[in-house]
Amino acid sequence: MKNKTIFVACDTSNLKEIKKIINQTQTKKLKVIPKFGLQFFYAKNSRRFLEDFKKEFWLDLKINDIPQTALSAIESLKDLKKCGYITVHANGGLEMLKAIKKKAKSINKNIKVLGVTVLTSLNNKSLKKIGHTRSVNQLVLKQADLIKKSGCDGIVCSAQEAKIVRNKYKNLFIVTPGIRLPGDNANDQSRVMTPKDAFKNKVSGIVMGRSLIKGNIKINIQRLIDHLNK
């Protein structure tokens, strides 16, 4: 199972809790990488913590702006030497995606730029309210085409769309949020799946938050290992 990558969503602004999550999710049986989102990144003292962080991490900012502003944002992150993954939103368009990929690689050649598609909190009904005429599957595939064309390293989509994306792009790095252990509450997610089923859809890695960090973290990690071993 060591080849299975688990990104653990460190969704708190409390440094003490962050350190606990990082320490207690480590296991020799899985590759576990911390993911820091907006909640932590915007919190006091978080920037310095990431600057001094000694292990690979994912910075999930979902950058989405005009190309020059997006480039300036990437430039301001150049001191985060261990940032191995960063997210940009496909809604920013092809030119923004291409510009960010080029800039990010000039700062850190090993960083993976991941394009975010339709958020897992949305469904077909939600998209219609926004004004989209395509279904979730159609829109994700369209965004995947854009992300691939831009040269970005991978894509973020729900595990439900991962299969159709993988069928078209055999070697694309695909990460799927909205992952829950069997029996766990979906909370604010609309398109969820279990870890085992997600990996059956040939994803490259999965993002897990509440199923791992709520309650006893070590027990939750063991639940995940047992689930994947079944």
Say whether 62 is catalytic. Answer: yes
b/e code 164-191 from CB counts within 10 Å (16+ = b):
bbbeebeebbbbbbbbbbeebeeeebbb
Nearest 5°: phi and psi at 164? Answer: -70, -30
Nearest 5°: phi and psi at 124? Answer: -60, -40
User: Residue 8 in contact with residue 57, Cβ under 8 Å?
Assistant: no
Among the options 35, 62, 101, 103, which is catalytic? 62
Catalytic positions, written as ranges: 62
